[in-house]
Amino acid sequence: MANLTGSSLRSHFLCNSSNFATTVLSLFACCRKRQDLRALNALLIVNGLIEHQSSIRQFITNCCHLGFPDLALSSFKTVKNPSLSLQNLFLRSLCDNGLFGNVLSVYEMCRNSGSFSDNYTYPFVIKACSALSDTGCGESMHCLVIRDGFGENLVVQTSLVDFYSKVGEMGNARKLVDEISQPDVVTWNALISGFSFNSLDDEVFRVFHKMRYMAMRPTTSTFASLFRVCSKLGALDFGKSLHGLAYKLGYAMGESLVPALISTYANSGEILAARNIFDA
């Protein structure tokens, strides 16, 4: 792609619309960097292929797979009736790259064009509402989820639990979990993380004990939230018990838990124990 310029390609290929479109499609596999995609986008515009739907869809797909969805924002607007898979791919990539404002605008555009949504679509949009602390938008999405028949989908429900937790509405988050017939560990983790995030420390421990009562196996995310609370409260005895359980389950030296473990012991005055964990 180093020599990908309009002049060199025109001199090398036939420039009628059909043949040139086929040629451009063959170039997508060569794209590896941001500048490659920029050059290809310019090529599409200069040669009038911005309305060529298969080329544009492929360009958007490549931008998403390479982690540069922002380069495809203007191109996506030209897609007539984007498929559900393309919509979800684009929303996911925008979400993964922290372009949350664009997630909402792209979703609204798709919705207005008559595109459908599914249980993969909603979590990306709800996550964007969480990241932007947009309570009104999140509540509207909750209504849409129920209206569209996804109110009992566990993945969507969990994303709503996380949303209400992030905007400080723990009553709604807890109510949602209580309404789920079979919440999984991800749902419980979202609730525990929410209570921890909102400094409702007693509730963190209550939810954890309920998880254990239900024979739910905690994960590294569960322990990370619990150790943060133990560290803040200086609850060394409970922290040691958790450390033992984490070790028993094979999580004790997990990369995400080590900083929380060190903090728990250090904040309780157990500097030697904290140093031993660090050295290990």
179 within some domain:
no
DSSP string, the chain: -TT--HHHHHHHS--SHHHHHHHHHHHGGG--SHHHHHHHHHHHHHTT-TT-HHHHHHHHHHHHHTT-GGGGHHHHTT-SS--HHHHHHHHHHHHHTT-HHHHHHHHHHHHHTT----TTHHHHHHHHHHHTT-HHHHHHHHHHHHHTT-TT-HHHHHHHHHHHHHTT-HHHHHHHHHH-SS--HHHHHHHHHHHHHTT-HHHHHHHHHHHHHTTPPP-HHHHHHHHHHHHHHT-HHHHHHHHHHHHHTT-TT-TTTHHHHHHHHHHTT-HHHHHHHHH-
Asked which of 42, 57, 80 is the last residue of a domain, the reply is 80
| The domain boundary residue, chosen from 80, 110, 140 | 80
Q: What is the pTM of this model?
A: 0.82
231 in a structural domain: yes
Question: Is 226 inside any structural domain?
Answer: yes
From the first residue on, what is the mean pLDDT of each consecutive set of 10 residues in the chain (280 residues)? 48 49 68 84 73 80 92 89 93 97 96 92 97 96 95 96 96 95 94 95 94 91 92 89 91 79 88 88
Please report whether residue 233 resides in a domain: yes
Provide the pLDDT for residue 33.
86
Residue 46 belongs to a domain = yes
257 inside domain: yes
pLDDT score of 55 = 79
Listed residues 80, 114, 132: the one ending a domain: 80
**Number of folded domains in the chain?**
2
- Assess if residue 150 is contained within a domain: no
**Which domain covers residue 70, as residue numbers?**
1-80
pLDDT of residue 49: 65
266 within domain boundaries: yes
